[in-house]
A = this chain, B = another copy of it.
Amino acid sequence: MEKIKLGLIGLGTVGTGVYKSVQNFDNIEIAKIAVKNINKPRSVDVPQSMLTDNPYDIVNDPTIDIVVELMGGVEPAWSYIKTAIQNGKHIVTANKELLAKKGEELFNLSEEHNCVVLYEAAIAGGIPLIMPIKTIMAGNKINKIQAILNGTTNYILTKMDVDGASYEDVLKEAQELGYAETDPTGDVEGFDAAYKITTLATIAFNSRTKFENVYREGITKIRKEDMKKANELGYKIKLIASATIDDKNNADVRVHPMLVPQDCTLAHIDYVTNAVAISGYPIGDILLSGPGAGESPTTSSVMGDILSIARAWKTTDYLLPMMRCHHHEISNPVKIDDTYNKYYISITAPNGIGLIAKIGQICAEKDVSLASISSDSDDVTARITVITDKCLERNIKEVIANLDGCTISSLIRVME
């Protein structure tokens, strides 16, 4: 049997995992691997002749069938992938940023060249998510996703909760343990989760969401006091990537911290675990959870994609349409100011008679109904915690702008 030939771009932890795993299958083989430094010592015994420091040696090699891109980032990965597709190669990638920012061009190009682009590993690591949505759940109209898609921030929030520690202290510890990067921006400011929900919303809703329309807020402002208060009120704080779509193709896609009720399973997804809750018709509500990153789970998903293409080999007319992403529709973005949410507001102000009445009045004027308001004050300072009913984001912003003399310590949305 002639083996299907793979070219790997990148030989980090996942690339190494894929290299080892491929040895267990007799219908696929690795032909060439592009690395930065071909002389670097490695944990696997790769024949020197297989290595190149020029990815174009792979994407232009007519004997290579599938290009497995594991380098990340938009450029130069996008240039390599474009050339590979133009040369008729199928793509397996774990590159969530590329998918979010170049998805439309990428899938149009692959369509044009009759190639498949699979990316199970790019979203929620080892959790089987993309293929189930495209196959076994294809009969459904999915209208809502709520997910924990970033392991680093979930680790930090869990540790803050468990240890009663501050964001800064936990971040430092996470960096020392290798759970957070030296520059943690991509994770803690929600970019990583935003890349993932962009693509997930697009395939689940069968209508493209553009990355620039995804509202994004990170976890850097969450205080240990908020964690404590959330617990008292029956919530946990999580960085939630969410997407909803209505019958008129209006998609509300965003990433921000939320108070999650403790009777919701997402509240109990801790440390680096990821979870995706999907609602649709007729399926109802399902939850998929598992490791969101790491060599092994990511390798599992990359291998799953490679094997799916291998099994479907030379059946372009029939199987490949199933694997492709068609989103000729583009959803209408909903602006965050136009969304309705519940809010947790932590207010600090000089203590004085009439403070709660004042807050209540301003809220009433702006059509914001209060679910609860509580004060924890000493002689000098009042610390007031408000939970609102569902109200318009624009109105909440007006409430906040009108609370003269009060400091808004936190404003966090609350999951219903």
The residue that A136 contacts in the complex, of B285, B291, B294, B304, with Cβ under 8 A, is B304
- A233: which B residues are within 8 A, CB to CB? none
Q: Indicate if the CB atoms of A307 and B132 lie closer than 8 Å.
A: no
Q: Indicate if the CB atoms of A137 and B304 lie closer than 8 Å.
A: yes
Q: Indicate if the CB atoms of B291 and A288 lie closer than 8 Å.
A: no
Query: What CA separation (Å) do A296 and B137 show in the bound complex?
Result: 12
CB of A39 within 8 Å of the partner chain: no
Residue of B nearest to A308 (CB): B135
A96-137 to B contact mask, C-beta < 8 Å, 1/0? 000000000000000000000000100000111011100111
Query: What CA separation (Å) do A66 and B99 show in the bound complex?
Result: 36
A264-291 to B contact mask, C-beta < 8 Å, 1/0? 0100100000000000111111111111
CB of A37 within 8 Å of the partner chain: no
Q: How many copies does the complex hold?
A: 2
Q: Indicate if the CB atoms of B286 and A290 lie closer than 8 Å.
A: yes
The residue that A139 contacts in the complex, of B280, B284, B307, with Cβ under 8 A, is B307
Residue of B nearest to A136 (CB): B304
CB of A154 within 8 Å of the partner chain: no
A242-274 CB contacts (< 8 Å) to partner B: 265, 268
A322-339 to B contact mask, C-beta < 8 Å, 1/0? 100000000000000000
Query: What CA separation (Å) do A130 and B284 show in the bound complex?
Result: 18
CB of A321 within 8 Å of the partner chain: yes
- A321: which B residues are within 8 A, CB to CB? 311
CB of A50 within 8 Å of the partner chain: no
Q: Classify the interface of chain A: helix, strand, loop or mixed.
A: mixed
Q: Indicate if the CB atoms of B289 and A287 lie closer than 8 Å.
A: yes
- A306: which B residues are within 8 A, CB to CB? 139
- A6: which B residues are within 8 A, CB to CB? none
Q: Indicate if the CB atoms of A135 and B135 lie closer than 8 Å.
A: yes
Query: What CA separation (Å) do A301 and B130 show in the bound complex?
Result: 16
Given contacts A138-B307, A304-B139, contact A282 B268 (CB under 8 A): no
The residue that A300 contacts in the complex, of B283, B299, B301, with Cβ under 8 A, is B283
CB of A315 within 8 Å of the partner chain: yes
Given contacts A136-B308, A303-B139, contact A284 B296 (CB under 8 A): yes
Given contacts A128-B132, A311-B318, 18 further A-B pairs with CB under 8 A are A17-B282, A21-B282, A25-B139, A128-B137, A136-B308, A137-B300, A138-B307, A139-B304, A140-B300, A265-B268, A283-B291, A284-B296, A286-B288, A287-B287, A288-B288, A315-B315, A318-B318, A319-B319
Q: List the interface of chain A (C-beta within 8 A of B).
A: 17, 21, 24-25, 120, 126-128, 130-132, 135-140, 265, 268, 280-291, 294-297, 299-301, 303-308, 311-315, 317-319, 321-322
User: 9 A–B contact pairs at CB < 8 A?
Assistant: A130-B136, A138-B307, A140-B300, A265-B265, A282-B295, A283-B297, A283-B301, A289-B289, A315-B315
8 tightest A-B CB contacts, nearest first: A139-B303, A286-B290, A282-B296, A128-B132, A136-B304, A283-B300, A315-B318, A131-B136
